[in-house]
Every structure is written in C-alpha cells, then in structure tokens.
C-alpha cells in the first residue's frame, strides 16, 4: 500500500510494454503501429506513457489536439504524430510549424494547409480521411479519390496516408464489412490513377481483434494498448485474454468505519436507508477524483479482498461502502476501485457497466488530482 496518498492510480509499465509487443505480433511484422495517446493516454499519463512507447517500439502517435502533440515532442523529438481531429483555422500554422500531420477531409482544409506551407516554407505531410460510415470527419466515398488527386498536385502538401474509421467493429460484422468494402473501392480508384499512398489504415482496437484482413499498412490501437478489451457482441480471439493485462489500477483508503442502525439514511438525498444494522466505511475518493457519480448505490469496491457495495450518493471527495462482511476493516486500509486485491478483481469495464457507460469514459475521467504512480520500468 502506498501510504503517501489518499487516492492514487498505479500504472504497470511492464504491462504496457507486453501489450504493445502482443499487438505487434497480432498485426504482423509488416504493419506499423500508431498508438493512440489522446486524453492523457487514456488517463494513464501522456508524457510517461509516450516515453515508454518510444522505448518499446511504437511507430507513430495519434493525438486529439496540438497540446498533446507538444507534450510528446517534449519527451522525444522527431516522432511522427497524427492529429486525429480536424485542425481549427487558427491552429493550422502551429500544426505546420510543429510538424504535426493533420487529418484532411475537404479541399478547403487542403488549401489552408498549402497556404501555410508556402508562408512558412515548410512542407506538410498529411493524411486524408474517408467517411465510410462513421459520419464525423472525412471526405465522402464519391469525393475522396478526386480530393486526393488534387492534393497530390498541390505545392507544399505531401500525402502520407489515407484512412477511415470503423463505427462498430466490436458489434456489427455486416456494417464493418460494408465500411471495409467502401474503403477498398477508394483504394482501388486511387491505384487505377497511379496514386499509391505510403499508408492506408482503418483498424482501431476492435478492428485489430475482429478484422485482421483490415490491418493494411498500419493499425491504430487505443484501448488495447492499455490492456482493456472493447466490449461488444462479437466473439474475440481466444488468444487475447492470456496476453493482455490492464495497466492501470485505481486505489484509495478507508478513512472511517462506523456501525449504523436499521433505518439510518446515508449521504445526500437519503437515497439509501439502512435495511438492517450495518458496518459502513467512508472512502477517500469521489467524483472530484473522477469516479463517476452514476455508480451511486450500484458500484462495488474491494476491501480486504471482498467486494463491498457502494452505499448512497457518491460525493465530491468521499463515498460510502458496506463493510459488514469485512470484520477487520479499519481506517487506513487500502480500497481498490479498479484492479486486484487478494482473489478479487474489479475491471474498468465493471465500473462502466455499473455507471451505464464505456470503459473509455471511466479511464479518461480519472482527474488530475489523482497522482499516477509508475511501476515496473523507468519513465520520463
């Protein structure tokens, strides 16, 4: 137990290294890996995770904004970085100056980048996105090949990649197959006209697991790097479970234990009334630390290796748990919000299910006031 903290997250860097190695084997030796590190590396700590991934063999990084790109540059210069979202007009010069590869969906964007490249005397490597069914960014199937042909002719612009994004690869093989077919048509149209992009890519984490035929020249794993499987209706490869390990565990401590009598209300709103005499622990974590309030009266934690139900509403800095079945529970004891304790385990997906959300939100919601403690390897 780390007695220096009331609430903290532990990151197993060895697990991250092993997960990336498994992904490398899964994708194949000829396929490059773009590791998605947006949202503070899914809550794991961007700079430390970027340093580890640089040492462990990632080829590119995927970010959501230029601040994340700048943080990676502070750790190691020269790494290819793809901005997965669209640049705002006022961000374009910074992206060019910082050599962050933009995602282009339209000719208007291409013209703005070409103009910035000319002003700054700096060429721009870019990726064109094709909308095959996600509906956020990307040129239409009808317009994509023509857009790319025009970009190829524009001074200062260099086509580094063409990609699409699967909307529900973990759930719907039929729609994913349609997206793959649409993207394949764009690739064929380009090759017929003599355009060969250095990289074509489509597979996210779910695609890597469920659509190996779509690995193409590059894959973009996010959740898998951190050892968490995307939840869906499709059957996952049997070899996944023994190899991937969640890298993050989240812990806090018991601050108080007390006996309450039948009929005692707990926390704001009196949403829990004790049905019997109970022993209740106050815990040093709440929604100010990022634990989702939707887990009130639904979530569970581990104390003394036993699952203990959260009672009443989760508050900003504290929550309550039923420790009636943990006779020796006392102030100072370690509480596991996500992770292992004894024979018990609570996953990020468990928390997501209790809160009616997804594991991505659970991880990225862990707040900056929660210290990240790194185990298992040196990090920056």
Domain ranges of the chain: 13-226, 248-375
Q: What local confidence, expressed as pLDDT, does residue 379 receive?
A: 45
Q: How do residues 16-67 score in pLDDT, each as one tens digit?
A: 999 999 999 999 999 999 999 999 999 999 999 999 999 999 999 999 999 9
Q: What local confidence, expressed as pLDDT, does residue 243 receive?
A: 80
CB proximity list for 352: less than 8 A, separation 6 or greater: 231, 358, 359, 361, 362
Q: What local confidence, expressed as pLDDT, does residue 377 receive?
A: 63
**186 vs 131, 139, 144, CA distance in Å?**
11, 11, 7
Residues of the chain with pLDDT under 70: 1-3, 238-239, 241, 377-380
Look at residues 89, 81, 87, 115 and name the one whose alpha carbon lies nearest to residue 103: 87
Residues facing residue 346 across a β-bridge? 339
What residues are annotated to the active site? 38, 268
**282 vs 49, 256, 267, 314, 328, CA distance in Å?**
32, 5, 11, 11, 15
Look at residues 329, 334, 324, 249 and name the one whose alpha carbon lies nearest to residue 284: 334
Asked if residue 96 lies in contact with residue 66, where contact means CB atoms within 8 angstroms, the answer is no
CATH number assigned to the domain with residue range 13-226, chosen from the 4 options 1.10.357.10, 3.20.20.10, 3.20.20.140, 3.40.50.300: 3.20.20.10
Is domain 248-375 given the CATH code 2.40.37.10 in the classification?
yes
Q: What local confidence, expressed as pLDDT, does residue 2 receive?
A: 60
């Amino acid at each position: 137990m780390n007695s220096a903290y009331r609430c903290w997250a532990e990151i197993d860097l060895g697990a991250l290294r092993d997960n990336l190695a498994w992904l490398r084997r899964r994708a194949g030796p000829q396929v490059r890996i773009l590791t998605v590190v947006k949202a503070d590396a899914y809550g794991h700590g961007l700079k430390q995770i970027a340093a580890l991934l640089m040492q462990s063999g990632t080829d590119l990084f995927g970010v959501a904004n230029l601040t994340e790109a700048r943080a990676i540059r502070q750790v190691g210069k020269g790494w290819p970085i793809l901005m997965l979202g669209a640049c705002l007009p006022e961000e374009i010069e910074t992206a060019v100056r910082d050599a962050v590869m933009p995602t282009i969906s339209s000719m208007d964007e291409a013209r703005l980048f070409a103009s910035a490249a000319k002003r700054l005397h700096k060429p721009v490597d870019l990726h064109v996105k094709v909308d095959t069914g996600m509906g956020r960014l990307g040129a239409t199937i009808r317009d994509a090949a023509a857009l790319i042909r025009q970009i190829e002719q524009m001074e200062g612009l260099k086509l580094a990649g063409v990609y699409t994004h699967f909307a529900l690869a973990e759930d719907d093989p039929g729609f994913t197959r349609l997206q793959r077919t649409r993207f394949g048509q764009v690739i064929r149209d380009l090759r017929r006209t003599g355009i060969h992009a250095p990289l074509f890519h489509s597979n996210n984490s779910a695609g890597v697991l469920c659509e190996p035929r779509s690995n193409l020249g590059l894959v973009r794993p996010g959740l898998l790097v951190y050892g968490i499987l995307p939840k869906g209706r499709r059957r996952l490869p049997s070899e996944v479970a023994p190899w991937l390990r969640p890298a993050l565990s989240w812990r806090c401590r018991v601050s108080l234990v007390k006996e309450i009598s039948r009929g005692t209300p707990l926390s704001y709103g009196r949403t829990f009334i004790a049905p019997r005499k109970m022993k209740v622990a106050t815990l040093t974590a709440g929604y100010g630390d990022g634990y989702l309030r939707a887990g009130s009266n639904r979530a569970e934690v581990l104390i003394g290796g036993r699952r203990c139900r959260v009672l009443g509403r989760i508050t900003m800095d504290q929550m309550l748990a039923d420790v009636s079945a943990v006779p020796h529970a006392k102030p100072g004891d370690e509480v596991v919000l996500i992770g292992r304790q004894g024979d018990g385990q609570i996953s990020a997906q468990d928390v997501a299910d209790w809160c009616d959300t997804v594991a991505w939100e659970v991880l990225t919601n862990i707040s900056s006031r929660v210290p990240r403690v790194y185990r298992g390897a040196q990090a920056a």
